[in-house]
Amino acid sequence: MDTGSQKVTKGVTTKTQVKTLYGEPNHVSLTDAGSEVWTYEYAHATATPVTYVPIVGLFAGGADVNKNEVVFIFDKRDIMQNYTVHASHNLTHRGGDDVDGAK
């Protein structure tokens, strides 16, 4: 995911500009201080090759999942004051247990 970090500037970029770049946020919340927090989440999963092996795939199959999250914090004037970016990588298995390879 292109985080757009080259396109946003702390203390300058507005809510409208962020919405133009990313669209509607997945989550919106407020802090005790009255700041608004916008969270964007993106995930991409690719089935592991063993998933396609007959019978074996039923037990050993899974997916390679990449997840990215960008969080923007806006002040009461709708100016972005800070942002964070988090990326993770997980391997999931059909057996239910995840093998976490968070980066």
One-character DSSP codes across 32-85: TTS-EEEEEEEEEEEE-GGGGSTTHHHHH-EEEEEEEEEEEEE-TTSBEEEEEE
- Write down the pTM of the prediction: 0.67
Q: What is the pLDDT of residues 43-79, one digit of tens each?
A: 888 876 666 566 665 666 777 888 899 999 999 999 9
Q: How much is the pLDDT for 1?
A: 43
Q: How much is the pLDDT for 6?
A: 62
pLDDT bracket for residue 93 (50, 70, 90): low
Percent of the chain whose pLDDT exceeds 70? 71
Q: How much is the pLDDT for 50?
A: 62
